[in-house]
Amino acid sequence: MNYFNKHIIITGAAGFIGSSLVEFLLKNGGYKITCIDNFDDYYDISAKQKNIAAFENHANIRFLKIDIRNADELNKNLCDDYDIIVHLAAKAGVRQSILQPNLYEQTNVAGTLNLLEFAKQKNVKQFVFASSSSIYGVNPDVPWRETSALMPVSPYAATKIAGEYLGYTYSKLYDIRFIALRFFTVYGAKQRPDLAIHKFTELITKNNPITLYGNGDTFRDYTYIDDILSGIAAAINYDKTMFETINLGNNHTVGLLDLVATLENVIGKKAIAQFDKLHPADSPRTFADITKAKKLLNYNPQTQLNDGIRKFYEWYVNN
């Protein structure tokens, strides 16, 4: 099945990944896209407004300010026929989720349930869900496969697991194809300012100290946004099995000190580093086995860290 020229709902469309996906789809096909975002103030709303400026008034775009926690608003405003839902909206941040677990449950679990109910009622048969590598938590057996034990250490991660299980249930009950994509540390142009690469870049550029948690001995599987977008696009078109969980990572884990060294090299400044203990909500290491993504989605990440950091820094300087 080819979803070219289909009508897609994208939630979280003003965010980093969401707005990048909208631009990607507009460049690569005649999709009709209904964008949903509530412009949550977790970070500066003006950044989200900049994210959508290039396509907000595009002929193939309809942009709605809706909170996915409000099922009545979804049903009231979404009156067309839809083919696919790409659900990227979420309350983000593993550490903040410890402080506001109820809010994370309301958005990430109840909000996802509202969208699945909507899909059932409107007969939307393709549902792509943004899950997270954080669900593997403190599992020491890396690289993580989709069958690896889930050991979440934050309410955020637990809500993502709940979203996957809700998707499985609705897939079985209502014949909705549900593809859960487990993203691994996505970075690139428009990345959220609270995430490490963006935050470190700003601090190093301004000669301010950066804080490295866990004595700098943590590791992450950094995945460039363009590679993630190719994976999402393949999931939009996937038409084989009815339920899948799939890792989207770079299949290469990088130490925090190596990340800082790469940033220093690209920016042309030395970082002023200070150290603190590892936060209990953080995983010591993330590392994706992407065998399944290669097989099912023909996923093949192309961007290595040094090239991705250079691209990000060019965007940062220009913005």
- Give catalytic residues, as residue numbers: 156
Give the integer Cα–Cα distance in Å for 316 and 314: 5
Give the integer Cα–Cα distance in Å for 281 and 157: 9
- Alpha-carbon dihedral angle through residues 60, 65, 67, 73, given to the nearest 10 degrees: -80
What is the 3-state secondary structure of 147-189?
Answer: CCCCCCCCHHHHHHHHHHHHHHHHHHHHCCEEEEEEECCEECC
79-109 burial: b if 16+ Cβ within 10 Å, else e: eeebbbbbbbbbbbbbebbbeeeeebbbbbb
Do 124 and 86 touch, CB atoms closer than 8 A?
Answer: no
Give the integer Cα–Cα distance in Å for 70 and 29: 31
Collapsing DSSP to helix, strand or coil, 206 comes out as coil
Tokens of 136: 């593997």
- β-strand partners of 8: 33, 84
Any residues with CB less than 8 A from the CB of 53 and at least 6 apart, and which? Answer: none
Length reported for the chain: 319
